[in-house]
Chains A and B, each alone.
Chain A
Amino acid sequence: MKRFTDLYLALDGTNSTAEKTMLLVRYLDSAPDSDAAWVVALLTGNRPKGTGATGILRDLCLRHTGHPRWLFDECRAAVGDLSETVALLLPAPDSATDEPLHVVMRDRVLALVGASVASRERIILEAWSVLDADSRLVYHKLVRGGFRVGVQRKTVAKALATVGGLDLDLVVHRLVGRFRPDPAEYRRLIAAPAPGEHLDRPYPFFLARGLDGDVDALGVPGAWTAEEKWDGIRAQLIVRRDSVRLWSRGEESIGAGFPELLAAARLPPGTVLDGEVLLWGDAGPRSFFELQRRLNRRVAPTPQLSLFGEESARFIAYDILESDGEDLRSESFESRRGRLERLLADHPSKALAVSPIIPFAEWSELAAIRAASVERGTEGLMLKRRDSIYGVGRTGGEGGWIKWKVDPFTLDAVLVGAQPGSGRRANLHTDCTFAVWDRREEPARLVTFAKAYSGLDRTEIESLDRWIRANTTGRRGPFREVRPAQVFEIAFEGIQRSSRHRSGLAVRFPRILRWRTDKPASEADDLESLAGLLPASEG
């Protein structure tokens, strides 16, 4: 555990990808396979689900230290992380023993799952008695299920490729899906390549980048194709001789939630399509909110399709990655697109369709189409270079796929309160609550509608924190109410009715665009203009 703790702290302490890779290689090279397997699992996001021990950790810590609960909460706000808070508050252990990571995982983490409160307390107290302060921090994170360290999958793949002397793409492909922390699985990761080994797994998804700057800069319009940017779930449909699978871009198998799509995929074995899963209603694609509800319904609705009425799922295909078992990713998009259209030309089911190409001659023409995206229920446009290959993640096929999303909504709001953030924003008041004026009554009052915590740079965050501390008008624990004086331009993607905020409205992905130091609070926007942004159906 000591070595893993050191690895965690070292990874956490550096921003250099090269150094992170080096640290991982060093660890994997010398650790037993059973520990290495756990490291790969933990760093690729297959961490144990929470063991429900957060409350127990806190209560045991309070009992151990004799501190009142409110003091714990103040500490938690200053540290920005409950696991670390508990580790810092506990007295140092008398002696620490060093157990291998996989033993800690088995006996002190996984053993908590489903155990009674009393035995969970006993397990945790025992763990505290053998772990030093740093290892306790890591242990708490493992126990709580929030284990995260700033290492990209790609970095893990690079380290594994180095350890196994393998091609990076091969390892990336092997890592797709949830990695099981098993020594045999670990050996499979770094083993020599075997034919047909990827059959069940999706290809690493090729990701688009956002349009940076002016669309004209992309050059000749003729070199590009345009499609809708669908607001659904990106997925690969994999058709094998005896199975059909649907894998989301989050690398989860989601086919069980969409039986009608699996049923509709009557295609030649050895076909892999890339596309978007959408819910389709009378008036076209339904919102992402609706789709998410369906996705969360873990158990598949019995294939009584009528259950969903007119709202059936569709797989809108926009690429073909494999045909007759042949990997097509290094072909040009134009050629793959031709194959895709031929393949689905006479497909009998409406549930499987090709994402239409939007014809355009001039960028200005396309800009007009993009401006009306919201009315078509899409997020904007996707631009794909005709000659681009299908890359891996954000690399390969340089600049081949570009998303050109609709501009977000923006308005000027008043800062009314804030609390400290988490992680590196601990003790900095960065979780801000914003309000607009409700002028239906005299005098007008401020009603909250959004919380946002990103968008300011370092210097701004620090000076805003100072201002908040100096202008606090009330406190509820770590939350500070402030004098309503600072105005911020807030951007967001969508808006809906909600009881979460006093305004009765909630927005999607709110973030701070800029600090309007030029504007007094009285000139911020009002509730009427915010409500005016509701879609007609909700207005």
Chain B
Amino acid sequence: MLLEPTAEGLWCEAGGFHVDPWRPVPLAVVTHAHADHATPGCGRYLATERTLDVMRVRFSKDLEGTPIDWSEPVDLGRCRVSLHPAGHVLGSAQIRIECDDEVLCVTGDYKREADPTVEPYEVVPCDTLLTESTFGLPVYRWPDPRAVFGRMNAWWRENAAAGRTTVFLSYAFGKAQRILAGLDPSIGPIGVHGSLVGPNSVYTRAGIELPDVLRADADSAATLAGGGAIVCPPSATGTPWIRRFNGPEGVRMGFVSGWMQVRGRRRWRAVDRGFVLSDHADWDGLISTIRECGASRVGVTHGSSEVLARYVREMMGLETFVVPTRYVGESPPTSPVPADLPGDGRGEVPGDGP
């Protein structure tokens, strides 16, 4: 096959590069800038300009990267490599690799729904598809995002009227900007956690329209408390930082994630509200992608890999394989807590976001 799993991640022998490696390598082709796909310390990066922008904000200004335009092929070794929009976050790409007569596509993370803050997903015809499967179960089928934004704004309005500050918990890059673009600024002031400031600037530079926001800090606390909405990462829950924005009637927390589809997850999170909004493909999105790209072999990674692979094999009659995910077999028995977990912090299932 064109890509082989190695200790560093997926390796392309014919092209002499890695795809989304999780350890430093000489040459990395990167789908998008979330931490479980983009690793600092590689010799050189090939990615979309937006992805490199975010990586520079997050890792280092002097990152050695070559931007690749959408659909513009680049020759690497014996391979022609091109990037195509994945619709996951700004700049997120699927990687198309062509070598001899074979075409392989690595989806990275992707979604099929409309989202004004990202380049719309594009079907990449291929022989072999390597798809994510974060939400690879048919219980995950997303409601219309417009309806979800309607509920989020209505909830914010209700909280503001009652003197309760509204907090939306979300990943800082991607989902957060999508939320900002969907909030109705006429309801009240919007505050953002410091970790959103960098990604926000990348979006704004790319011409994506975001509402005016305040950096949520001691200076803006009085403005935001009560009627405001704050967008921040889930790690801010329970910190003194979040408490300073308490309104006269306290604060209400809403978690914005595809996982909120399941009640048990909502209750585990112990948040006041869960909003089902995801930047990943839902079940229907995964199945239609596999069908539309015309692949005869499907590799599955990142999530419900075994389940989706079995479904594709038994119900769709395609050849399948499971691509190992990042943390498998890495934790020694004496230290059961692997450091630096992606996303939701729920094991090999990466968060809805990264």
Which residues of B322-343 are within 8 A (CB) of A? Answer: 327-331, 333-338, 341
Across-interface contacts of A517 in B (CB, < 8 A): 334-336
Are A71 and B336 in touch, CB under 8 angstroms?
no
Which residues of A452-475 are within 8 A (CB) of B? Answer: 462-471, 475
The reply on B270 being an interface residue by CB < 8 A is yes
In the complex the two chains form, what is the Cα distance from A153 to B186 in whole Å? Answer: 43
Contact of A485 among B264, B333, B337 (CB under 8 A): B333
Across-interface contacts of A71 in B (CB, < 8 A): 137-138, 307, 311
Residue-wise, chain B 236-275 has the 8 Å CB interface mask toward A (1 for contact) of 0000000000000000000000000111111110101100
Are B347 and A469 in touch, CB under 8 angstroms?
yes
Across-interface contacts of B139 in A (CB, < 8 A): 75, 78-79, 85, 88-89
Interface of A is mostly: helix
CB distance from B300 to the nearest CB of A (A): 14
Across-interface contacts of A521 in B (CB, < 8 A): 333
Residue-wise, chain A 477-505 has the 8 Å CB interface mask toward B (1 for contact) of 00000010110000000000000000000
Are A426 and B265 in touch, CB under 8 angstroms?
yes
Are A426 and B138 in touch, CB under 8 angstroms?
no
Are B336 and A464 in touch, CB under 8 angstroms?
yes
Across-interface contacts of A89 in B (CB, < 8 A): 138-139
The reply on A402 being an interface residue by CB < 8 A is no
Q: A465-B347, A470-B348, A485-B333 are in contact. Are A427 and B307 (CB under 8 A)?
A: no
The reply on A12 being an interface residue by CB < 8 A is yes
Q: A67-B138, A463-B337 are in contact. Are A427 and B262 (CB under 8 A)?
A: yes
Interface centre among B267, B310, B334, B336 (most CB of A within 10 A): B336
In the complex the two chains form, what is the Cα distance from A55 to B137 in whole Å? Answer: 21
Across-interface contacts of B307 in A (CB, < 8 A): 71, 74
The reply on B153 being an interface residue by CB < 8 A is no
The reply on B201 being an interface residue by CB < 8 A is no
Across-interface contacts of A475 in B (CB, < 8 A): 306
Contact of B346 among A67, A466, A520 (CB under 8 A): A466
In the complex the two chains form, what is the Cα distance from A350 to B335 in whole Å? Answer: 60
Query: Looking across the interface, which residue of chain A has its beta carbon closest to that of B274?
Result: A13
The reply on A386 being an interface residue by CB < 8 A is no
The reply on B13 being an interface residue by CB < 8 A is no
Are B348 and A469 in touch, CB under 8 angstroms?
yes
Q: A14-B272, A423-B264, A428-B346 are in contact. Are A78 and B137 (CB under 8 A)?
A: yes
The reply on A395 being an interface residue by CB < 8 A is no
The reply on A68 being an interface residue by CB < 8 A is yes
Are B348 and A68 in touch, CB under 8 angstroms?
no
Across-interface contacts of B267 in A (CB, < 8 A): 12-13, 423-424
Across-interface contacts of A70 in B (CB, < 8 A): 310
Which residues of A289-336 are within 8 A (CB) of B? Answer: none
Are B268 and A428 in touch, CB under 8 angstroms?
yes
In the complex the two chains form, what is the Cα distance from A84 to B265 in whole Å? Answer: 12
Residue-wise, chain A 75-88 has the 8 Å CB interface mask toward B (1 for contact) of 10011110011001
Across-interface contacts of A463 in B (CB, < 8 A): 336-338
CB distance from B278 to the nearest CB of A (A): 14
The reply on A129 being an interface residue by CB < 8 A is no
Query: Looking across the interface, which residue of chain A has its beta carbon closest to that of B314?
Result: A68
The reply on A422 being an interface residue by CB < 8 A is yes
Residue-wise, chain B 281-321 has the 8 Å CB interface mask toward A (1 for contact) of 00000000000000000000000101100110011000000
The reply on B345 being an interface residue by CB < 8 A is yes
Across-interface contacts of B314 in A (CB, < 8 A): 68
In the complex the two chains form, what is the Cα distance from A137 to B335 in whole Å? Answer: 40
Across-interface contacts of B337 in A (CB, < 8 A): 463, 466-467
Across-interface contacts of A15 in B (CB, < 8 A): 270
Residue-wise, chain A 402-427 has the 8 Å CB interface mask toward B (1 for contact) of 00000000000000000000111111
Residue-wise, chain A 506-519 has the 8 Å CB interface mask toward B (1 for contact) of 00000000010100
Are B265 and A467 in touch, CB under 8 angstroms?
no
CB distance from A363 to the nearest CB of B (A): 40
Which residues of A27-57 are within 8 A (CB) of B? Answer: none
Are A462 and B346 in touch, CB under 8 angstroms?
yes
Across-interface contacts of B349 in A (CB, < 8 A): 427, 469
CB distance from B346 to the nearest CB of A (A): 7
CB distance from A472 to the nearest CB of B (A): 9
In the complex the two chains form, what is the Cα distance from A81 to B139 in whole Å? Answer: 12
Interface residues of A (CB under 8 A from B): 12-15, 65, 67-68, 70-71, 74-75, 78-81, 84-85, 88-89, 137, 422-428, 462-471, 475, 483, 485-486, 515, 517, 520-521
A-B contact pairs, 29 of them (CB 8 A): A13-B267, A13-B272, A71-B138, A71-B307, A75-B137, A78-B304, A79-B263, A81-B263, A88-B141, A89-B139, A426-B263, A426-B265, A428-B268, A428-B346, A466-B327, A466-B345, A466-B346, A466-B347, A467-B331, A468-B347, A469-B349, A470-B328, A470-B330, A470-B331, A470-B347, A471-B331, A483-B333, A515-B336, A517-B334
Q: A13-B267, A81-B263, A466-B347 are in contact. List 10 more A-B contacts (CB 8 A).
A: A14-B272, A71-B137, A89-B138, A423-B263, A424-B264, A424-B268, A427-B346, A469-B348, A486-B336, A515-B336
Interface residues of B (CB under 8 A from A): 137-139, 141, 261-268, 270, 272-273, 304, 306-307, 310-311, 314-315, 327-331, 333-338, 341, 345-349
